[in-house]
Amino acid sequence: MKEKETDYVAWYILALFDFGVPISNLSQRQLNELWRKIIEAFKKNLPKKDFFVKGDIKEIDMPHVEESFMLAEITNYKSYIDIRRSPLIGFYNQRLIIRLTIGLEEFFKLRYHREDILRDLKFVFEDLKGIKLSAEDPEGIGEKPWEINDVFYYPLIIIGNGAKMIKEEYLASKVNSIDPIFSIPTTSLTYTLPERGKWFNLFSFKEHFIRLSVRSVMVFSDGWIPLEFKQTLINAIYQGGIYEQMRRMRNVKKSITRQRMRAIDDDILMNLAEIIREMVKANIDAARIAEKQRFISFFIASLSFLISILAIVLSIVNLML
């Protein structure tokens, strides 16, 4: 990366395939078949003149674990925005995740880029809609000829060291005698979430600003974000936001505009905020319980070691007397 490791914006487009009805996991053969269709859809759209990125799709060999993501990257990439790493495309079962990493200086231009890039991805998703997966034994209890009815998606944007940006905004407000209420956190539903610190996790934690809107979840992070925190956020967004949107849209009979089809409404947004809080808190509580257990185990082991050393010393002393 060009600047500091913390000076970036990680942008995850979280997409969900809707097969019209609740389904169990796709078979490995169907997963491979759908993955080929996803790659083909990107290859079809990449050459378009105004597509947000240019390059070749290269598949990445993942560890041979049954439920690992199928992964590909766009290499030798070029883009009209400051993309700092190869765009990544990951897929498993009903989930498709696309990661873009852009420069921090591009953050305030993000709202202009966001609609263009989501529009481009919409063309990719449109090519995937209507795909029917083949089934070797459709009458059996295994594979079914599942068909993709729709693709729902919602962005998660993580601004590296973004909490510093908000604190600087507060400071600038005071210098200019402006009420700090007029700042990023009040432009949409915003709150802070604690996160256990990287070191001395038992006693310390950081706080990140979480900003929710119908267009995206933004995280203004306090420095480095651990993988577990990010995974919890992504699962919370799927559970409380995208899956809920999919369930509701299945029950809508009247036609809806494309804009409305994509947006998460206010009811879902309030539910999503609560689920993020609950899941992050559960993650922190579980981590702290594990840390306490490790601390107690370490203390007992250390005490046992000291007692053993003391016993040896006393034995030596007795021998010398």
> What was the pLDDT predicted at 281?
75
> Is residue 72's pLDDT more than 90?
yes
Residue 92 lies in a domain: yes
CA 81 to chain CA mean position, Å: 21
Residue 188 lies in a domain: no
**What gap in Å lies between CA 212 and CA 275, rounded to an integer?**
12
CA-closest candidate to residue 10, choices 119, 97, 79: 97
Minimum mean pLDDT range among 6-20, 264-278, 304-318: 304-318
Whether the CB-CB separation of 146 and 30 falls below 8 Å is answered with yes
Question: Could you tell me the residue range of the domain that residue 86 belongs to?
Answer: 1-160
Q: What's the average model confidence in pLDDT over 258-270?
A: 65
CB-CB neighbours of 56 under 10 Å: 12
CA-closest candidate to residue 190, choices 78, 276, 105: 276
Q: How confident is the model at residue 135 (pLDDT cuts 50, 70, 90)?
A: confident
Q: What's the average model confidence in pLDDT over 36-64?
A: 90
**Distance from first CA to last CA of the chain, Å, rounded?**
67
Residue 167 lies in a domain: no
Q: Which residues contact 166 (CB under 8 A, 6 or more apart)?
A: 183, 184, 185, 209, 220
> What was the pLDDT predicted at 216?
87
> What was the pLDDT predicted at 99?
94
- Total domain count for the chain? 1
Residue 26 lies in a domain: yes
**What gap in Å lies between CA 8 and CA 11, rounded to an integer?**
10
**DSSP helix/strand/coil, 143:** coil
Residue 275 lies in a domain: no
Residue 321 lies in a domain: no
Residue 123 lies in a domain: yes
Q: What's the average model confidence in pLDDT over 39-43?
A: 96
**What gap in Å lies between CA 156 and CA 230, rounded to an integer?**
10
Residue 246 lies in a domain: no
Give tens-digit pLDDT for 224-247: 777 888 888 999 999 888 988 888
Give tens-digit pLDDT for 76-86: 999 888 888 89
**Backbone φ and ψ of 136, nearest 5°:** -70, -30
Whether the CB-CB separation of 94 and 16 falls below 8 Å is answered with yes
CB-CB neighbours of 201 under 10 Å: 18
**What gap in Å lies between CA 156 and CA 108, rounded to an integer?**
16
> What was the pLDDT predicted at 197?
54
Higher pLDDT, 60 or 195: 60
Whether the CB-CB separation of 62 and 69 falls below 8 Å is answered with yes
Give tens-digit pLDDT for 143-194: 888 899 999 999 999 988 887 888 888 888 888 888 877 877 787 788 788 7
Q: How confident is the model at residue 200 (pLDDT cuts 50, 70, 90)?
A: very low
Q: Which residues contact 129 (CB under 8 A, 6 or more apart)?
A: 148, 149, 150, 151
Q: How confident is the model at residue 261 (pLDDT cuts 50, 70, 90)?
A: very low
Give the whole-number percent of the chain exceeding pLDDT 90: 27
